[in-house]
């Protein structure tokens, strides 16, 4: 059981975030080594909530105490996440100029190096898992999950659907895009935390349900936040449903995520609080 109360969530998240940042610095190449190394470090160390690795660690802690193994695996998830962001920002994809209030990587180093930095982060994520001290069977299971959720049925597939979407996008199509682009890696983060802790099949199914709905609600809330800040650039849940109904959909998704945790009882306290935070966050 996680020995914390809800009022400690902010401190819990910040503590985990610092641990992940420290672990990432050890895993990354020296930032002044060459242009590619500089690009890799810029993409990973330029801020970020570390939401996915924190979810992975919090899930693991429902079953076992924190250890170096779960910190390493959680950090690898952030490397995969950084890869998705670098490629998503490229001119051939979303063509974004800013990420986390800073210039996107291709604006700093150019498109070719940015593309290669994303490729390098993708491979580094797997290298970190392979070189971890987990049992070989667990490594294989973790790699299986991350490959699935990053692949054509996950992030990459969601990105492809996003690119191919029609001008008359409906809510069902948008939901499929969100489940792929955003929810997939969040679901993977939660499920992998359970895999490393050797959860059983029933527990892993519940964790998948939690992660998928949490990720879906998280993305809808991104739309809500952008709408309130007048930053929306394309069709999303707010433009299709309106602000109030979009918020209702986010709440429904978060409620489903929390319902999935009922089998864990009080041990799911932090994961429940993280779900509540997804609705309350401002950025």
- Give the C-alpha separation, 77 to 189, whole Å: 7
pLDDT at residue 2 greater than cutoff 50: no
In the chain, alpha helices (H) = 9-27, 35-45, 51-60, 68-89, 105-109, 111-130, 136-150, 155-164, 171-178, 184-196, 201-228, 237-241, 243-259, 269-280
Radius of gyration of the chain (CA): 18
Does some domain include residue 113?
yes
Whether residue 200 is contained in a domain is answered as yes
| Residue 195 tokens, joined | 């895999």
What pLDDT digit, counting tens, does each position of 108-132 carry? Answer: 999 999 999 999 999 999 999 999 9
CA 75, CA 63: separation in Å to the nearest integer?
A: 19
3, pLDDT greater than 60? no
pLDDT at site 221: 95
Q: How far apart are CA 92 and CA 272, in angstroms?
A: 38
Across the range 23-42, mean pLDDT stands at 92
Which of these, 171, 178, 127, lies nearest to 157 by C-alpha position? 178
Ranking 105-109, 141-145, 279-283 by mean pLDDT, the lowest is 279-283
Are the beta carbons of 142 and 196 closer than 8 angstroms?
Answer: yes
| Model confidence band, residue 185 (pLDDT cutoffs 50, 70, 90) | very high
**Residue-wise over 10-34: b if at least 16 C-beta within 10 A, else e?**
eebbeebbebbbebbeebbeeeeee
Angle at 189 (CA atoms; ends 173, 44), nearest 5 degrees: 95
Mean pLDDT within 151-173: 91
- Which residues have CB under 8 Å from 209's CB, separation 6+? 256, 257, 260
pTM of the model: 0.94
Asked if the model's pLDDT at residue 4 lies above 70, the reply is no
Question: How many domains are there within the chain?
Answer: 1
For residue 56, is it within any domain? yes
How far is CA 35 from each of CA 39, 86, 111, 115, rounded to the nearest angstrom?
Answer: 6, 15, 12, 12
CATH for 218: 1.10.600.10
Range of the domain at 154: 6-280
Domain contains 87:
yes
Tell me the per-residue pLDDT of 51-93, one tens digit each, with 9 for 90 and over: 999 999 999 999 999 999 999 999 999 999 999 999 999 999 9
Mean pLDDT (the chain, rounded):
93
Confidence of residue 232 (pLDDT cuts 50, 70, 90): low
Residue 67: CB atoms within 10 A of its CB come to: 13
3-class DSSP state for residue 180? helix
Q: What is the mean pLDDT of residues 177-194?
A: 97
Look at residue 11 and tell me if it is in a domain: yes
* Residue 18 belongs to some domain of the structure: yes
Residue 265 token pair: 């009882």
Cα dihedral 261, 258, 140, 154 in deg (nearest 10): 150
Kindly indicate the confidence band of residue 100, based on its pLDDT and cuts at 50, 70 and 90: confident
Give me the pLDDT at residue 1, please: 39
CA dist., res. 277 & res. 282, Å (int): 10
User: 1 lies in a domain?
Assistant: no
């Amino acid at each position: 059981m996680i020995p914390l109360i809800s009022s400690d969530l902010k401190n819990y998240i910040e503590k985990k975030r610092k641990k992940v940042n420290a672990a990432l610095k050890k895993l990354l190449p020296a930032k002044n080594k060459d242009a590619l190394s500089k690009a890799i470090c810029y993409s990973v160390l330029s801020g970020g909530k570390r939401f996915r690795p924190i979810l992975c660690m919090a899930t693991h802690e429902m079953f076992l105490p924190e250890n170096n193994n779960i910190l390493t695996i959680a950090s690898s998830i952030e490397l995969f996440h950084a890869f998705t962001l670098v490629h998503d920002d490229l001119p051939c994809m979303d063509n974004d100029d800013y990420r986390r209030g800073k210039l996107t990587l291709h604006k700093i180093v150019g498109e070719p190096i940015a593309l290669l930095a994303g490729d390098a982060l993708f491979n580094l994520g797997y290298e970190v898992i392979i070189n971890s001290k987990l049992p070989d069977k667990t490594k294989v299971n973790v790699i299986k999950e991350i490959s699935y959720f990053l692949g054509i049925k996950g992030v990459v597939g969601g990105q492809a659907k996003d690119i191919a979407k029609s001008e008359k996008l409906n809510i069902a199509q948008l939901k499929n895009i969100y489940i792929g682009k955003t929810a997939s890696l969040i679901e993977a983060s939660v499920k992998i935390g359970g895999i490393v802790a050797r959860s059983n099949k029933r527990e892993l199914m519940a964790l998948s349900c939690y992660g998928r709905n949490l990720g879906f609600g998280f993305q809808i809330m991104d739309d809500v936040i952008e709408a309130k800040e007048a930053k929306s650039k394309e069709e999303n849940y707010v433009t299709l449903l309106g602000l109030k109904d979009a918020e209702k959909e986010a709440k429904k998704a978060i409620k489903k995520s929390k319902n999935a945790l009922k089998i864990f009882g009080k041990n799911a306290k932090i994961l429940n609080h993280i779900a509540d935070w997804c609705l309350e966050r401002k950025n």
